[in-house]
A = this chain, B = another copy of it.
C-alpha cells in the first residue's frame, strides 16, 4: 500500500514505542523483535525502520519511556511519604524492578556497540530519576556536606542497584539471601550515617 495517514509521524512513533514497551514487558529483551512490534500495530517491518534507524534506536526509545514511568512512579510515592524518605526510595527501587522485571532488566541488558555514545535525549530521560535521588540525599546531609550529595547519590544508586540485580538474576537465591531489600537499606543507612546524615527512623 502507500500513504495511509491514519497517523502523523509522531503518532506512529509513539504507537511503535507503546507496542514495543508492551511487547518488551511481556517477553523480555532477548525475545523482543521488530517484526512482532510491527505485527501488533498492523504495519510491516519496513515501517519500523522508516521511523527508527535501527533496533538499538527503538530500544533506547522504549527504555527511555521506562525511565520516565519509573521516575514518575517514584515521584508519586514520595508525595505521600513519611519521615524516612530514604527507606521509601530504596523500597521504590526494588518495587519497580520487581513488578516490571522485563522492562527494568532491558534497561541494562541493552547495550550500544562499543564507542557509540548514548544520545542526549536518552541521557536526559535517565537524568530525571537520578536528579530526584540527588535531591533527597542532599536533603538528609548536613549543610556543610551537601557537596557530597552527587557522588554519594551515584554510589548509593550503584549499591542498591547491585542488590537489586542479584535479587532478580538469581545470584542471591544461590547465596541463600532472603532479604535483598533489607540488606540494601542497611548499606545505604551505614553510608549515610558515615557522611553525617540525620535520618528519622
Mark A residues whose CB is within 8 Å of B.
30, 108-109, 111, 118, 123, 126, 130, 150-151, 154-155, 157-163, 165-166, 169-172, 174-177, 180, 183-184, 186-187, 190-191, 193-194
Number of chain copies forming the complex:
2
Q: Which residues of B contact A30 (CB under 8 A)?
A: 111
- What is the minimal beta-carbon distance from A108 to any residue of chain B, in angstroms? 6
A166 contact from B158, B166, B193, Cβ within 8 A: B158
In the bound complex, do residue A158 and residue B165 qualify as a contact, i.e. CB atoms below 8 Å apart? Answer: yes
A172 contact from B109, B154, B166, B187, Cβ within 8 A: B154
Q: In the complex, what distance in Å separates the CA atom of A130 from the CA atom of B190?
A: 23
Q: Which residues of B contact A176 (CB under 8 A)?
A: 150, 154
CB within 8 Å for A118 and B174 given contacts A155-B187, A186-B155, A193-B194? yes
